[in-house]
A and B are shown apart, each in its own frame.
Chain A
Amino acid sequence: MFEAIAFYLFAFLTITMFFITVMSKHALYSMTALAAGMIFISAFFFMLGADFLGAVQIIVYTGAVMALYAFGMMFFDSTRELKEKNTPSLLVFGLGGMAALLTVIIVAAPIVSSNITAAYPIVEGVGNTQAVGMVLFTKYLIPFEVAAVMLLVAMIAGIVLAGKKMDVSLTLVEDDVIPQPEKEKEKAAS
């Protein structure tokens, strides 16, 4: 009974939060709803007994959305008044709803069939974390390693791109020593 109550509660909360994320024009509302929705999703992992994935979901997405906030802070005035009125476009709603329904049917279709057997059944007697490790280092070893290499490439590329001209700390030099862009120089001269 409790599982059903928890499932419907968190299903409702998650859908509401992502609905706000998509529909709201207010950056602060959208990002907060996104963070909340991501954290509510972890409840489903906990309900399924996948504690490790639930905790990882919380840790990863709090950090990830926090980075989004940093960008939002730079680009938007988050306290500006915005009109939240949307003119509904029936075509978009219809297509979006159809696509969502189709995805659910595609993913859920095998459940109808009765002869499902797990290719990698749960190993009895080991914890959740160990089970993740076993699958990760046997069946999914190559995708795991490839993902690790790709992340390393992305990290090095990020450092190279961001690290140009970073041998001088701008906080430590005087203001007039910092080379100004051409336009601002003219403005200062005139």
Chain B
Amino acid sequence: MDVAFIIETIIKIVVLLLVFSALAGFGTYFERKVLAFMQRRLGPMHVGPYGLLQIAADGVKLFTKEDIIPQNVVAPIFKIAPVITAATAFMAAAAIPFLPEFTLFGYTVRPIISDVNIGVLYVVGVMAIGLYGPLLGGMASANKWSLISAARAASVFISYEVVTGLALLAPIMLVGSLSLIDMNNYQSDGWMIWSQPVAFILFVIATFAETGRTPFHLIANDHEIIDGFGTEYSGMRWGLFFIGEYANMFFISFVTALIFLGGFGDGSLLGALALLGKVAFLFFFFLWTRAAWPDVRPDQLMWLCWKVLMPIAIINIVVTGFVVMF
């Protein structure tokens, strides 16, 4: 292991952390603006031109707010829960190729931190650990609503994970590899969405549950007019949950684009820009759905995942198996 490799990896990690922490902040701004336009409002307008400095204002507020550890909470678990959500989101990003290879000052840069040959499994598995944040935060909070929210987190977790895995299995069977770069290269003569439309729809539905977005935003219990697991949190601890959630949305958008929407194509500049465009659209789709759909109940989510989506996913796998074999 030479020094150049170590320095390169550290620089990549720092860039990824900075870019996506900042993007998580911008994500909240975009969300408020998009929701506002869809509901015929203006959204944030007062801080800076067109409300653009709202992110800075929010950041200052979150960083300077007093960090309260309430009485009766289980302090160590309470403190570590937001860190789990944020940290696992960024850990999952280690196996995602964000851009194609490019040459910078005569040095070839591969914008992926570690090209493990089981990329998809790693990303999906580590991202799933992120749900431990809401679960632990809710259970440690000494608050009934937080506890109910934690129970919902557990029910979400046991519902969607099967669908994610089974939906991804069909494209994996076609490609014959679990590496995201191989999946991207496989689609040079046609996007996966055309050969696996069912898997694409199932996976997109599962990503909404995975990131805890509306219509599966039932972890946070909006209709109880509290913030579920986040009720007892304040300041940057609460902010870490949000950084984790928005970073997860970006990363899962990258994964969806790479597996189903052709990724960065042949690796040209145009392909790289197309990948960013696809990710931007998928992120917008998260916000669009939030503006258009109500939340479902936990039992409806379980019914949907186990009785509707899972049988469809299995039929899809069987059909794909026959197609691959004959």
Contact = CB atoms under 8 A, between A and B. Distances in A.
Interface of A: 2, 26, 28-29, 32, 35, 39, 46, 51-52, 54-56, 58-59, 62-63, 66-67, 69-70, 72-73, 78-79, 127-129, 171
A66 B135 contact: yes
B124 A52 contact: no
A55 B121 contact: yes
Contacts of B135: 66, 69
B158 A66 contact: yes
Interface string B246-288: 0000000000000000000000000000000000000000000
Contacts of B116: 46, 51
Contacts of B73: 79
Contacts of B147: 73
B126 interface: yes
15 contacts: A2-B1, A32-B80, A46-B116, A55-B118, A56-B125, A59-B121, A59-B128, A62-B128, A66-B131, A66-B135, A66-B154, A70-B154, A78-B74, A79-B72, A79-B141
Interface of B: 1, 72-74, 76-77, 80, 116-118, 121-122, 124-126, 128-129, 131-132, 135-136, 139-142, 147, 150-151, 154, 157-158, 161, 165, 177-178, 299
B154 A69 contact: yes
Nearest to A67: B158
A128 B117 contact: yes
Given A79-B74, A127-B177, A28 B299 contact: no
Nearest to B128: A62
A59 to B, nearest CB: 4
CB-based closest 3 A-B pairs:
A55-B121, A59-B125, A79-B142
B157 A78 contact: no
A129 B154 contact: no
A56 B121 contact: yes
A73 B121 contact: no
Nearest to A42: B125
A67 B132 CA distance: 12
Nearest to B146: A79
Contact of B154 (A2, A29, A73, A78): A73
Given A58-B122, A69-B135, A127-B177, 10 more contacts: A28-B139, A32-B80, A51-B117, A54-B122, A66-B157, A69-B139, A70-B158, A73-B139, A73-B150, A129-B118
Interface centre among A56, A58, A67 (most CB of B within 10 A): A58
A153 to B, nearest CB: 19
B158 A62 contact: no
A116 B117 CA distance: 29
